[in-house]
Structure 1
């Protein structure tokens, strides 16, 4: 019988706050929460934002948290949107027969002195330079950014302050935090997990679509020469896209199993998830940590997307609201999926889950938050241009819907499934994706398919975006509410919606009202992926049928302890007392620590051994 890839832990951080225990999801629907849930959500945000709370959280503090989370104007402590630094190239010519002269430190002189320069040494290691003819120089200056909204992490949150982040790019800092949060949320210590698996039965698939482009990564390497700075030994390796997985292996888990990342532009999270699901299904791995981390709220990166016409500029946002008397763009409503819109809003996020095969989860008493049964990936085929829509996403959505039907039946697909759309908030996406979803709904007999689009709240985190969708899905299983597309007040006239149900208000469906969700991602270049996620109440039925009543009774007893440990971690995190896992120079092994024989390899810390006597699947071909 097939292994079921069940979700036993999840965590991370985005503009809504910490993801584990549904805190980030509850920020999205905070206006629909009861008082106790809202208080807990604000308490979690306060710890993330490093706010000093004495007693009850005041109304002003709550408003501050609301104002400084989700999509908003980029805050000055990150970079000043009105003073984006740049260099202006200036060409000048000395007037008549005169010379242009300046004095500078001798160390500032170029290695090769231009032929029209005359250099005279002065006291105190300075020099006078006289220039005849033409002179060219770069003048530091600033400009105002055309795009000033982003989905930023909550104000005050600094992942690098939580562990010894030695020149780590922000994306890697977020990866350490996100993976740690997911692993600690399990309530099953990682050391216990390792005692139940072999070293090669652990996989880690993590990375980013863009790599690390800030000053501590490839941005520092590529900009050093032009900013008169030195390239460090860390710039190049730290910028690599798979470095998130490397950090998680080396400093969080100590894993030596399968590793790497799959890059598919904005579908990258689902690409990694697909490999994780396949590892579990085939038995290659029994536990997989999978996710992505992206930190693209950088003026240079935003310039690139703005040049493509992909981002919602301030000017275009004002034009959308013409007649409302606004003098400044409505930054909170920068992302308006499936309404009249003008581009996406870039965001930073780090989202991770822990997948286990169902037998291991039952054996350990791990809490099951859902299951990912299938992830489908298809390219677009021949295209007119790399950025134009194609047919691949029709294939992935059709396969995902068919997989729900095959597992749960027609009634569940038609009446108890919903869609997490990619929903980028671009004019092209609202037409192309709505047509895909609408046509698939028609084909499968779905009269009104509920559609969520959480980028309205947290923005577009590029390679992590499906991770943001997954965290919201797990929240819906827990609280029974599908977040509304709160930033819109109408559906655009060119959106196809005869068989779709868009809502700006939250939709109450009940904790067991939805059996399945489909996550959809569309990546630049024709990278399409759709995932089928099954609700925990369905997964528990599957586990009971597979493992039997006696085993499940024992499982639920073990699970009580797991829940208690998980709750203890959450309490510490809400108090600001939980730190990321970061084990630098910890239990570093060499060949002396590993036991080798011709049939197995034994590694300290793991109960199981790596089996070298596995039969070849091709052996029969030589008989």
Structure 2
């Protein structure tokens, strides 16, 4: 029996309402009250630079007047603005005005029994002219007088108050498109580029060295989004152009496709010719992509995988859609819930508390996976590993958005699988849950009931439960990526973020065997495994197990022996040095975003093919064409 290869997380990155993911900075923003002073100040300084409040120049942090600032001075002067301009908050006017969102109101102009008479330029006449209109040329020759017996239907520009006013947005003042040449790119693709680039650089590895170490077809990119690109540079502009009387651009249709968060990574960041996939499963999409990548690595089909999702749904039409479903936390609902005249825009997402719906968010989260042999060979760092990812549907459904039985299966299988690999002690005493925690009344009951029942079956008590949507909102396809990034931070710092947007756990939550805290909790002992749980519209359920770095390192030592592991550890020191250098530069605002447009193109005339190989110019290794017959027992 051949042994499975372990999919190890060697890098991670992205951007969300808490800031930059690599270096654990987004996680650190969530637990900032519980951090040591230096970590807290570094994270605030990095956010201040992202937000344009502070610059780094001539080897020092400076205010906009050029005065040198210490980390402590940055915190004192700008800490309040940083905290206020991150996480969930009132939607910034850079998106649209939630108090006066643009729409069009239909009306019929007429004068009762009398025909409507108006003047218009000839070139502005509709095509074709309505058959009952009478046109009379005017003296200037450029205009006509129109008599419309039945009146005229028109649409007036109008503005209305949106019921939903909060979202998880990138730090205030941070423009993702400014980090590279992003002309005409929809916002979700901007997030994909900077997120994937952040993850790649966080590895501390030279990417060319990685590519030279594997065959070209052994690199995979698995990424997608749910809502596609719905702003004016994507499908939003495409669908609105005719109604607005404008032209469709050549970029709106192709850039709108929901495969672009993978395609852009292949085409402009990695230059990969390997496996590609863009799987969607509603709010569980990140885990769907993660499963495909982890399975391909475990089987040996793929040796390096970049996995992620990038979503930018803070668009009035999308918010309208979810709000009309009753899925979002509106101001009116929150005011009634709290018995106040004005709702708190920062406390709209309340997993497992008295809540009123979820809060929309934008985010980009990517991780880099490698098989264990390549990790040992290259000295790649270990941030965790993927145990298993399970996906199950709900069966027959009365409502496409309602929860169902599929999540019982995924959660039970994930816990059982982790127990088979790590043992009872790890699962029962050193594990935690990253809940879907969408902040809807139905979710808090149904998801907690699943956790409680699984805990009872496996003999778990005091099971820690975190819900990062309380901080960053619900980024749809990227939501499970947010859970994974937060878990890596918990493994490193041992602090489980509390659900600080609730006063207490709701009475109808099944919490007898769960530990749901309203404040940050320090782990009594290092965690071995985190379970990421995700529930999506349509019955898209997924649960993953993620192993902590110390568990993975122990597994590597057993598989490769002490001598090989010691050699690996020596190589890893240099990799960590490079990763740390990138982190320091990014804290200072130098992200060095990877974006290769029109560079390194493959000259197809130089491709060489024989019966055993495909050789591509620019790639050290060839694609192997020698295959064994997997169905030998069925063939002559």
Normalising by structure 1, report the TM-score.
0.97
Could you tell me which residue of structure 1 aligns to residue 527 of structure 2? 514
Structure 1, unpaired ranges of 5+: none
Q: How many angstroms apart in 1 are the aligned matches of 2:631 and 2:334?
A: 60
Question: Which residue in the other structure is 1:367 paired with?
Answer: 381
**Structure 2 counterparts to residues 94-243 of structure 1, below 5 A:** 94-97=111-114, 99-103=116-120, 105-119=121-135, 120-121=137-138, 123=140, 125-243=142-260
**SS of alignment partner, residue 546 of structure 1:** helix
The C-alpha deviation readout for 1:176-204, integer Å capped at 9, x for no partner, is 01000000100001111001000000000
Match runs of 1:325-336 below 5 Å: 326-336=340-350
Structure 1 equivalent of residue 287 of structure 2: 270
Matched with 2:314 is: 297
- The answer for the alignment partner of 1:420 in structure 2 is 434
What is residue 6 of structure 2 aligned with on the other side? 4
1:314 aligns with 2:331: yes
Query: Residue 404 of structure 2 corresponds to which residue in structure 1?
Result: 390
Corresponding residue number in structure 2 for 1:552 = 565
Q: Deviation per CA, 1:142-170, whole angstroms, max 9, x where unpaired?
A: 10101001001111111111111121110
Shift of 1:564: 0.9
DSSP-derived class of the 1:498 partner: coil
Counterpart for residue 481 of structure 2? 467
* Corresponding residue number in structure 2 for 1:480: 494
1:598 corresponds to: 611
Q: Does 1:90 align with 2:107?
A: yes
After TM superposition, the runs of 4+ consecutive aligned structure 1 residues lying more than 6 A away are none
Q: Does the 8 A contact of 2:494 with 2:526 survive in 1?
A: yes
1:573 equivalent to 2:565? Answer: no
Match of 2:514 in 1: 500
Question: 3-state SS of the aligned residue for 1:292?
Answer: strand
Is the Cα–Cα contact under 8 Å of residues 305 and 311 in structure 1 kept in the other structure?
A: yes
Q: CA deviation at 1:516?
A: 0.3
8 Å contact kept, 2:286–2:479: yes
Secondary structure of residue in 2 paired with 1:355: strand
In 2, Cα distance between equivalents of 1:504 and 1:598: 63
Offset, 1:123: 3.3
Q: How far apart, CA to CA, are the structure 1 residues paired with 2:591 and 2:515?
A: 40
Q: Counterpart in 2 of 1:32? A: 34
Which SS does the other structure have where 2:518 is aligned?
A: coil
Deviations 1:253-274 (A, max 9, x none): 0001110211100000000000
Q: 1:320 Cα deviation (Å)?
A: 1.2
| 2:270 is the counterpart of 1:256 | no
Secondary structure of 1:351's aligned partner? strand
Which position in structure 2 is the counterpart of 1:355? 369
Question: 2:5, 2:298 within 8 Å by CA — same for their partners in 1?
Answer: yes
Maintained 8 Å contact 1:482/1:506:
yes
1:267–1:463 CA contact under 8 A, matched in 2 = yes
1:466 aligned counterpart, secondary structure: helix
Alignment of 1:59-70 (within 5 A): 59-70=76-87
SS at structure 2 position matched to 1:291:
strand
Task: Name 2:65's counterpart in structure 1.
Answer: none
For residues 101 and 107 of structure 2, the distance between their equivalents in structure 1, rounded to whole angstroms, comes to 18
Q: What runs of 5+ residues in structure 2 fail to find an aligned partner? A: 56-61, 63-68
Tell me what 1:50 maps to.
52
1:587 corresponding residue in structure 2: 600
How far the C-alpha of 1:23 sits from its partner, in A, is 0.4
How far residue 608 of structure 1 moved from its aligned partner, in angstroms, is 2.3
The alignment partner of 2:41 has SS state of helix
Matching residue of 2:574:
561
Change in CA separation of 1:576 and 1:380 when aligned onto 2, cut-off 3 Å:
same
- How far did residue 498 of structure 1 move? 1.1
Q: Which residue of 2 aligns with 1:609?
A: 622
Provide the C-alpha distance between the structure 2 equivalents of 1:84 and 1:243, rounded to a whole number of angstroms: 28
- Counterpart secondary structure, 1:332: coil
Per-residue CA distance 1:303-331 (angstroms, 9 max, x = gap) = 00011100000000111110xxx432111
Q: Which residue of 2 is the match for residue 23 of structure 1? A: 25
Residues 20-69 of structure 1: per-residue CA shift (max 9 Å, x gap) = 01000000000001110011101221222222342131524111010010
Is 1:402 matched up with 2:416? yes
SS of residue paired to 2:213: coil
TM-score calculated relative to the size of structure 2: 0.95
Shift of 1:125: 4.1
What CA distance in whole angstroms lies between the structure 2 residues aligned with 1:595 and 1:561? 36
How far apart are the structure 2 equivalents of 1:174 and 1:121?
A: 54
- SS of corresponding position for 2:432: strand
